Amino acid sequence: MSVLVVGLSHKGAPLATLERTVLAGDALTKLLHDVARADDVAGTLILSTCNRMEIYAEVGSFHGSMAAICDLLSRHSGVPHAELTPCLYVHYSDRAVQHLLTVACGLDSMVVGESQILGQLRSALRIAREQGTLGRALADLGSQALRAGKRAQSETGVGAAGASLVSVGLRAAAEQLGIDYGRERGATSLAGLNVLVIGAGAMSGLAAASVARAGAASLVVANRTRQRAERLAVQHGGRPASMADLPGLMAAADLVVTCTGAPGHVITAEMVHEALRQHGGPGRARPLVMLDLALPRDVEPGVGDIPGAAVTDLETLAAADAAGMQPGEAAVAAARQIVADELEAYLSAGRADRVTPTVVALRAKAAGVVESELARLAGRIGSVDSGVLEEVAKSMNRIADKLLHAPTVRMKELAGRPGADSYEDALRVLFDLDPAAVQSVAHADASLSRPAAGSSPRASAAGGSGGSSPRANTAPAGRREGTSDE
């Protein structure tokens, strides 16, 4: 089995298309189960964030699995193939592993080095595990990706500035208000501003914390669940409010930060018109600035065209020059080296796993030879004390173990290196191992690898990256073959 990823992100997909593919709750779990039930798929997880939607799967073949996953994503999101396919990228086998490691280290994010992706990946793994769709290979890869991301944050300066989508968004919003939020990283000031944060999730929590640190004059947190709004507001010195009061709350605010995860628009043009009417209309001293970090978007399209209102959303941020918030070249290079090291460790472990069946077959053959020789000896010497036969058997097994110890240990050492297949082939030839015997310990029992009809999909315990499939095979989904999209 190999790892396949099919996805789209802020790099190649319009926000209008990207937000339509975002799935949560029951919609997400339905897609998980449908992908897990697809032919030749042994496990899957879905990484869905504010700027990417990626489906990872353990698959036995490239083309068929890719086509099936693309079809399921189109069907579940409602985005037609003709619109979806040009936006997709595909990575396979070693390249898919490299991609996830790169994502976990924050190197593929809109704001390079941001650490929120680690929590999002951890959540994706948890959901897949709870739904029974997480195979062993993806579970191991996910754990390694989390470790790589933590290393990037702790061992390099890639995330040292604490730059995030929130910090970049707040800077852009402050500039719309005519305030120098701080070009230099860490130089933040929202003094004198009244800020309304809508939502109480992880992103809203980060926004509330950032606003409080920046010295805002007041902070109000509105959320559908009053208890969560109260908890977040108290934590950062603000006050909670009801979503039913949004027009009035917006009228009293200079800056509105929204990130709710709601399926529809939370802020409508009608609300904005009412908020502006209550607070001086289009001629108010400062525009009413809305920072929309949600996907799908919380702010209704067209609100930014209303006189006296301004909107900054993910599409705006993707096109903005965030150079002042990005880590230095040395930090990025160090994080990329971590990706390279972790990738080599993953591939070495995979190569070692692939020689295990040959080692097992070799020891099984030796045990068979010892057993047949003991049977022959017992037939020739006739009746003899059982204790003597037992000692002879132990001695013969020790001899076989000692003879096999050096070649099997050396084989495992060499297995982690490139070209290990040639050593494995030599072992099979030298000891005349039956290929069928090797295969018998290499493949899972087919009757146990797939769930029974009507049962919950459970991923096969067998798996890994590589095998006989093409390596580093990656292409935009619209072109089944070709070069990388990077």
Torsion of the alpha carbons at 183, 184, 189 and 190, rounded to the nearest 10: 40
410-419 contacts, C-beta under 8 A, 24 or more apart: 411/355, 411/358, 411/359, 412/352, 412/355, 412/359, 415/348, 415/351, 415/352, 415/354, 415/355, 416/348, 416/349, 416/351, 416/352, 417/348, 417/351, 418/351
- Nearest residue to 441 (alpha-carbon basis) of 383, 367, 366, 354: 354
Out of 50, 87, 105, 259, pick the active-site residue: 50
Give the pair of three-digit tokens for residue 108.
């593929």
Q: What ranges make up the beta strands (E) of 28-176?
A: 41-49, 52-59, 89-92
CB 28 within 8 A of CB 22: no
- Nearest residue to 139 (alpha-carbon basis) of 62, 45, 229: 45
d(CA 123, CA 119): 6
Chain position carrying tokens 């280290």: 105
- Cis omega (within 30 of 0) on the bond before 407? no
Q: Return all residues near 329 (Cβ < 8 A) that are at least 6 apart.
A: none
d(CA 354, CA 96): 19
| Whether residue 87 lies in the annotated active site | no
Give the pair of three-digit tokens for residue 53.
């939607």
d(CA 337, CA 144): 15
Give the pair of three-digit tokens for residue 112.
């390079």
Q: Where are the alpha helices (DSSP H) in 264-328?
A: 269-278, 314-319
Buried/exposed code over 465-476 (b: 16+ C-beta within 10 A; e: otherwise): bbeebeeebbbb
Q: What ranges make up the beta strands (E) of 103-173?
A: none
d(CA 31, CA 46): 9
DSSP 122-139: HHHHHHHHHTT---HHHH
Phi first, then psi, for residue 440 (nearest 5°) are -65, -25
- Residues marked active site are found at 50
